[in-house]
Chain A
Amino acid sequence: MSALKTQKRDAVANDDLGEETRLRLYRTQLEIREAEQRAFDLFLQNLVKGTSHLSLGQEAIAAGCAVAMRPGDLSFCTYRGHAHTLARGVPFEKVLGELMQRDNGLMRGKGGSMHLTSVDHGVMGSYAIIGAHLPIACGAAWRAQYKGQKDVSVCFFGDGTTNIGAFHEALNFAVVWMLPVIFVCENNLYMEYTPISDVTAVKSPAGDRAAAYGLPRIVIDGNDADVVYRTATAAYEKARVGEGPSLIECLTYRHSGHSRADPAKYRPEGELEKWKERDPITIYRERLKQFGVRDEVIAGIDAEVKRVVDDATEKCKAAPMPPAELLTTDVYADGGFAWRN
């Protein structure tokens, strides 16, 4: 943990972010925390159906990367994508409606928890097949490069993704074509239930692979939103000026299980507690205080976020289920599903 401590000290020593950005980082993290906790509670009540992969404990990555983006930048998420979707400004009501499979959901219940998409917010999809979206993000970046547009494509994935072929194809492709794409690995130490170190040839699953593609090794404290924000900002800038992709490994830890109600009993005793000492929300609340943000300002944000989450919950509980007519819409671009005349 000494490297993490050093990074934290550096972050505190350097007030380059400003209060507005810091408050956005805090609020975004807190929204994710409250939203994910609510999603879990509703899952236990069988109101969130199917499956659900939470980012509790990993909020700093989504917040740091999203707050560093500009409008028009694109996010590509995995099935653990609630956090990244919320971080781009998608209202919690739309996300929760989708998790609860209601007609007010982001995709009116047609996609579900693992496929959150909001093109208007730059959330170009959540992909549930490991690795699939890394090449897709390359393609979006290729479009920007080809058309001379300055947006960047940011692709989030877990540590487990670094062992699938599409990861390696995409990294090589992105470097060879010098694409404005940023690959962000959320290393939460477990691929699902198995420790990533048990199944990976190198210590840092993304960082230690970077050299194979001529990229610098970037491994950062993923629980410190300032560190994530600064690293992301630098990577986006590099991409925007045509200097190609970055691969960023963020060390973090999920407070909950892999999915659904997984109790995560495969983790050694005390590990969760140790990581909770570095809870990104706690770290950031302290950070705000260190920079002189008054307690009542923080309390105001806390109350506002709680109110938004409570309101959304009530609205979603009252929302109707999707209508049967929706079943066959939007298979093809004509809006329907006709495959014959």
Chain B
Amino acid sequence: MAELTYRDAVARGIAQEMARDPDVVFLGEDIGKAGGVFKTSVGLYEQFGPLRVRDTPISEQAILGAAMGAAMTGLRPIAEIMFSDFFAVCFDYIANEFPKSRYMSNGQVKCPLVVRTGNGASSRFGAQHSQSVENWCMMIPGLKVVAPSSPRDVVGLLAASVRDPDPVIFLEHKSLYATKGEVPDGEIVDTLGTAKILRPGKDATIVALALMVPRALAAAEKLESEYGIDCEVIDVRSLVPLDTQTILGSVARTHRLFTVEENPRLCGWGAEIVSIVADETFYDLDGAPVRVTTPHIPLPAADLLEDLALPSVDRIAERVKRSLES
């Protein structure tokens, strides 16, 4: 067991899969000799060489298109898009090409690839380098969408994504890169589509993703210590496939549902979860489901403003407390 940063866990996960399977190749901007803009691929170029860890030009369409062509013909590429905001310049591949090729070809074409990207805010980068774009991806049939919150999950879910036969969007949170956690030795392979109950509780279910997971956990501690409210915290981990059974089971026990989403409010993933809970376990609910989200705004750069925009520990705790008291 070693303590690793989230960023080092990315490199460890990639290395684990590249060492296992020579068909796993890795491409992106500055990922090789430079070790990655976020230092998430340090040592891989030296370990696996320039044929398997390939620096690309600043050509996001070429990166994702090349990954797809390689995947269709037998490789297992991992492509890095530096900031998830840049999905907008190569969205054709994410929206039109990866996810539709199997269906349109009636199963002839396969597309087993992973797109890793730095997602999310709290780095004061402003509106075009801070977005949470999970909803852009979640709404597209044919994609899988994964967002780990801990170093251990980074390794295990990345391995599962690389081995998955479908295209996977793997959203790493930029503001988690420096966080640390215990990671067991040896090979780690997780399962996509499995949520995790990180904190059991009986009074309310808080469902969170990525950076919002540690905040939800901190809010649950605060609610417990200050108000005696015992919250269950679920890390969704994978938006597609979505582990609805874990969430529905939790709501059946706690009778209250809160989602904590970093994305702007409209069409956030939490809305889908609220809809599923309302459809399928409505009479288990003792109160209206509540979504804690970023307002429907572009993100500001100033730290004071950005902190106001994102769901904070205090805002989550306050919203849960107010709702349970009403």
Contacts and interface: CB of A to CB of B under 8 A. Distances in A.
A and B associate in one complex: yes
A117 B62 contact: no
B61 A108 contact: no
Given A143-B70, A332-B166, A341 B241 contact: yes
Contact of B59 (A110, A143, A172, A335): A172
A127 B97 contact: yes
B67 to A, nearest CB: 6
Contacts of A111: 104-106
Given A132-B65, A170-B65, A139 B244 contact: no
B240 A339 contact: yes
Given A146-B75, A153-B69, A339-B240, A173 B57 contact: yes
A129 B241 contact: no
Contacts of A139: 65-73, 77
Contacts of A125: 72, 101, 104-105, 109
Given A140-B69, A330-B107, A176 B57 contact: yes
B203 interface: no
Interface in B47-76: 51-52, 54, 56-57, 59, 61-75
Contacts of A108: 106
Nearest to A118: B108
B245 interface: yes
A153 B74 CA distance: 14
A341 B104 contact: no
B213 interface: no
A17 to B, nearest CB: 30
Contacts of B68: 135-136, 139
Interface residues on B, range: 35 or more
B72 A140 contact: yes
Contacts of A124: 69, 72-73, 109
Contacts of B93: 132, 135
B281 interface: no
Contact of B241 (A74, A117, A169, A338): A338
A340 interface: yes
Contacts of B54: 177
Contact of B104 (A115, A135, A153, A170): A115
B200 interface: no
Interface in A99-152: 106-108, 110-112, 115, 117-120, 124-125, 127, 129, 131-144, 146-147
Contacts of B33: none
B193 interface: yes
B230 to A, nearest CB: 26
B97 A136 contact: yes
B106 A129 contact: no
Contacts of A146: 25, 51-52, 70, 75
Contacts of A266: none
B193 A341 contact: yes
Contacts of B70: 139-140, 142-143, 146
A329 interface: yes
Contact of B105 (A117, A136, A147): A117
Contacts of A118: 108
Interface residues on A, range: 35 or more
A177 B51 CA distance: 10
A115 B97 CA distance: 11
B283 interface: no
Given A139-B69, A331-B142, A129 B25 contact: no
A11 B147 CA distance: 59
Contact of A172 (B57, B105, B109, B241): B57
Given A117-B109, A140-B69, A129 B96 contact: yes
A124 B314 CA distance: 53
B141 interface: yes
Given A107-B105, A115-B104, A333-B110, A341 B62 contact: no
Contacts of A216: none
A292 B74 CA distance: 46
B305 to A, nearest CB: 33
Nearest to A339: B240
Given A107-B105, A140-B69, A135 B245 contact: no
B92 interface: yes
Contacts of A340: 193, 241-244, 276
A337 interface: yes
A331 B61 contact: no
Interface in B7-49: 25
B69 A137 contact: yes
A165 interface: yes
A120 B77 CA distance: 22
Interface in A284-334: 326, 329-333
B251 to A, nearest CB: 15
B69 A138 contact: yes
Interface in A38-81: 74
A173 B62 contact: yes
Contacts of A330: 102-103, 106-107
B165 interface: yes
A215 interface: no
A329 B62 contact: no
A220 interface: no
Interface in A174-214: 176-177
List 3 tightest A-B contacts by C-beta distance, closest first: A135-B65, A139-B69, A333-B165
13 contacts: A117-B104, A119-B109, A120-B108, A125-B105, A132-B92, A132-B93, A134-B65, A135-B65, A147-B75, A153-B69, A326-B106, A339-B242, A340-B243
Interface of A: 74, 106-108, 110-112, 115, 117-120, 124-125, 127, 129, 131-144, 146-147, 153, 165-166, 169-170, 172-173, 176-177, 326, 329-333, 335, 337-341
Given A107-B105, A132-B65, A135-B63, 5 more contacts: A117-B105, A146-B51, A146-B70, A329-B107, A333-B110
